[in-house]
Amino acid sequence: CRLGTTRGTRYKTSNMSPSIKKILISDNVAPECKEILEKAGIVVEMKTDMTKEELCQKIKGCDGLIVRSATKVTADVIEASDCLKIVGRAGTGVDNVDIPAATKKNVVVMNTPGGNTLSAAEHTCFLIGSLARQIPQAHQSMREGRWDRKKFMGNELYGKTLGIIGLGRIGKEVALRMQAFGMTTIGFDPIIDAKTASEFNVEWMELEQLWPKCDYITVHVPLIPQTQNMLCDETFAKCKEGLRVVNVARGGIYEEAAILRALESGKCGGAALDVWEKEPTTNTALVQHPNVIAIPHLGANTREGQRRCAIEIAEQIVDWVNGKGLVGAVNARDLKL
């Protein structure tokens, strides 16, 4: 059964708490994570920058694995483990973890969806402002010895319409911040309803209504079949001329080839992309386009956000070990716990 918590759904498990004696941390996380786990009597080993083969060896004898986004927890890694019970993702996205393979071995996959909320929301807002005023391009021009005041004519955000696709934690925080600039906020979410959206001054509407109204669009949804290539040639055709787009969620939600075509035609007036279909990206045409702000996946990269995620993943694991239920388990419904 499920019990509501402020951090996420808390799942009751069997009366027997899991035995978590040793955890491997394979990515750089804040030191508080290790401290909390060791205080609970768990042995922690840290080893980063491992090859897949090294990880497959190192995972043996470990009850838990904690990662960020660098480590790829593939089916081979999970199969190589001999006593793995939990994979903890210190962050939101779990696309670097083979969830079906973990579920098949009855391994919990846990994340910390709230830890990076403010970092990602602030990053989104900065990128919207940077698109409006071409700040990175003007900065680069100055570094190259030019004084191009006339070239960089910007736009006010006041009175513009921001479309927010995904009205969860991050989408809500983006809306509240951009409303302070006088932007009209509209949005779509398949779970958040119109009444809930109205509580933070977002007008909920279907995507077909949203596309033609927006001056800016930002997405805050996972990359799943329903969201892949959500912004493509077909949807660009429904949008205003000069639309500006931001993606701090996941690469692949926007079709990169379609963005480039829209930029070349003028349909898209600018794109700020923090995430890419392939990372590190090799799409030099998009990265080097003068109306693109290209970022190497920095949405969650703040000291505060990383510290928050590190603490939360450790506390969630310790709570589970201590019989307080299971929080943040993305595959809990399919496990025998």
- Which active-site residues does the annotation give? 250, 279, 297
State the Cα–Cα distance between residues 107 and 105, nearest whole angstrom.
5
Residues facing 188 on adjacent strands: 165
Task: Dump strand ranges (E) for 211-267.
Answer: 216-219, 243-247
Element (H, E) at 45: strand 43-46
Distance in angstroms (rounded) separating the CA atoms of residues 216 and 131: 9
How far the first Cα of the chain sits from its last, in Å, is: 11
- For residues 140 and 285, give the distance between their C-alpha atoms in angstroms, rounded to a whole number: 18
Rg for the chain (alpha carbons), in Å?
22
SS3 81: coil
Round to whole Å and give the CA distance between 50 and 181: 45
Cα separations in angstroms, 111 against 233, 250, 317, 323, 325? 34, 16, 10, 18, 15
DSSP-derived 3-state class of residue 191: coil
> What secondary structure letter does DSSP report for 240?
P
Q: Looking at this protein, which amino acid is placed at residue 164?
A: I
